[in-house]
């Protein structure tokens, strides 16, 4: 006689790293676990892709002692938030230092520095005369919601629109936190609620009874802007965003991988999903220093658009020193002769387009919000000091 197998209900629990613990934050992003969370985000993501290059850009050490002697460098590399600082030019590493609990092979999230890929992709579309930055978003994305429909592409690139999407990290219910379940950084309240990037972005609305005009000279920073531009790149080119990213990775010559968070349909989260090891973080900047010229004469982006990014007025992002501002321009930040970008929680990349000097900095801020404005200003001013010299 065949014995009857009793079917017991399997016991489960919510994924501990992705469940909301307190202050509307997932466990990996809590102050006490954030340092480990940033280093393991490439594995914590619910969804993701991995891109590796066939050819690796070789880097050789040629350390410059003057960088290590800088007071600002000593201060920032001894800070409790510090993880790594690398400085390079061409194919030489001029400075390299890691925290005692960090290593050369350790990936870390680059957060919003992922946004700089869009500068390359939009530049390439411009060079091919496939896009007009004076057109409204809805010209190419007819299903986009009122939060973007009437916005000019150039204004979206410059963080120069004002809609209902918010990104105030001191507010635990800001839109950017609520956006996280779409790309698998947290669990939704109802596990059956699955949202894709395009559907989520199409629901963003204009503020009630207001247009999208920015009445301020300062940036209205919104990560959703870059995600919309990612949809735009796919729609205009007919090429998936993941293929664009692979082309960039193969041009940069990463030795490890670009770990990219995605939505459930594997659309890359171009606004903040990237993770890199420190030397590949430097290689990412070196690709911009060469204005898109890659290994084996591979090309991504547009040299003229990268140059225009430096000339473009953009919007004021933050004041660095008295009467010296960091501006937002063409999906990058810029000041003087350099472009770059900030990443939430203490990351920054700076690329001097005149001298070719690149500085990449990893750290993890452990405040409740992941922000520390004084520390951020000190970090950027240090990198400004480094890249504004010619070694």
The matching CATH number, chosen from 3.40.1190.20, 3.40.710.10, 3.40.50.2020, 1.10.10.10, for 20-387 is 3.40.710.10
Strands (E), 40-191: 48-52, 60-61, 82-89, 92-98, 108-111
Alpha-helix runs per DSSP H in 148-294: 153-157, 175-178, 197-202, 223-237, 241-252, 278-289
CB 316 within 8 A of CB 325: yes
20 token code pair: 């909301």
Residue boundaries of the structural domains of the chain: 20-387
Whole-model pTM?
Answer: 0.96
- Reading the chain (391 residues) residue by residue, the pLDDT tens digits are 455 555 778 999 999 999 999 999 999 999 999 999 999 999 999 999 999 999 999 999 999 999 999 999 999 999 999 999 999 999 999 999 999 999 999 999 999 999 999 999 999 999 999 999 999 999 999 999 999 999 999 999 999 999 999 999 999 999 999 999 999 999 999 999 999 999 999 999 999 988 999 999 999 999 999 999 999 999 999 999 999 999 999 999 999 999 999 999 999 999 999 999 999 999 999 999 999 999 999 999 999 999 999 999 999 999 998 888 999 999 999 999 999 999 999 999 999 999 999 999 999 999 999 999 999 999 999 999 999 998 8
| Strands 108-111 and 332-335, sheet pairing | unpaired
Q: Provide the terminal-to-terminal Cα distance of the chain, rounded to the nearest Å.
A: 84
- Rounded Cα distance between 139 and 137, Å, is 5
CB 371 within 8 A of CB 169: yes
- Rounded Cα distance between 235 and 39, Å, is 33
């Amino acid at each position: 006689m065949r014995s009857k197998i009793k079917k017991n209900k399997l016991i489960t629990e919510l994924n501990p790293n992705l469940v909301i613990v307190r202050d509307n934050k997932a466990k990996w992003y809590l102050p006490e676990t954030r340092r480990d969370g940033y280093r393991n985000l490439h594995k914590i993501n619910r969804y993701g892709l991995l891109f590796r290059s066939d050819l690796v850009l070789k880097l050789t050490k040629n350390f410059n002692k003057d960088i290590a002697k800088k007071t600002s460098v000593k201060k920032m590399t001894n800070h409790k938030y510090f993880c790594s600082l690398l400085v390079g030019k061409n194919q030489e590493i001029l400075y390299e230092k890691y925290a005692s609990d960090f290593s050369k092979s350790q990936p870390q999230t680059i957060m919003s520095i992922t946004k700089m890929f869009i500068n390359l992709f939009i530049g390439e579309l411009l060079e091919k005369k496939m896009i007009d930055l004076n057109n409204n978003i809805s010209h190419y994305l007819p299903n986009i919601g009122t939060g973007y429909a009437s916005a000019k592409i150039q204004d979206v690139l410059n963080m120069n629109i004002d809609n209902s999407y918010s990104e105030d990290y001191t507010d635990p219910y800001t839109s950017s936190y609520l956006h996280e379940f779409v790309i698998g950084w947290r669990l939704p309240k109802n596990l059956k609620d699955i949202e894709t990037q395009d559907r989520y972005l199409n629901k963003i609305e204009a503020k009630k009874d207001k247009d999208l005009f920015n009445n301020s000279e300062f940036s209205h920073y919104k990560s959703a802007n870059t995600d919309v531009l990612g949809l735009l790149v796919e729609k205009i080119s007919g090429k998936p965003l993941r293929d664009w990213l692979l082309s960039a990775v193969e041009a940069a010559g990463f030795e490890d991988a670009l770990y990219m968070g995605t939505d459930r349909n594997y659309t890359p989260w171009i606004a903040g999903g990237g993770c890199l090891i420190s030397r590949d973080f430097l290689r990412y900047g070196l690709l911009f220093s060469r204005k898109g010229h890659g290994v084996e004469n591979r090309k991504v982006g547009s040299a003229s658009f990268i140059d225009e990014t430096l000339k473009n007025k953009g919007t004021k992002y933050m004041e660095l020193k008295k009467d010296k501002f960091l501006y937002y321009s063409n999906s990058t930040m810029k000041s003087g002769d350099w472009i770059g970008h900030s990443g939430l929680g203490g990351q920054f990349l700076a690329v001097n387009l005149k001298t070719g000097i690149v500085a990449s900095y990893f750290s993890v801020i452990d405040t409740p919000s992941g922000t520390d404005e004084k520390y951020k200003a000190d970090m950027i001013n240090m990198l400004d000091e480094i890249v504004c010299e010619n070694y």
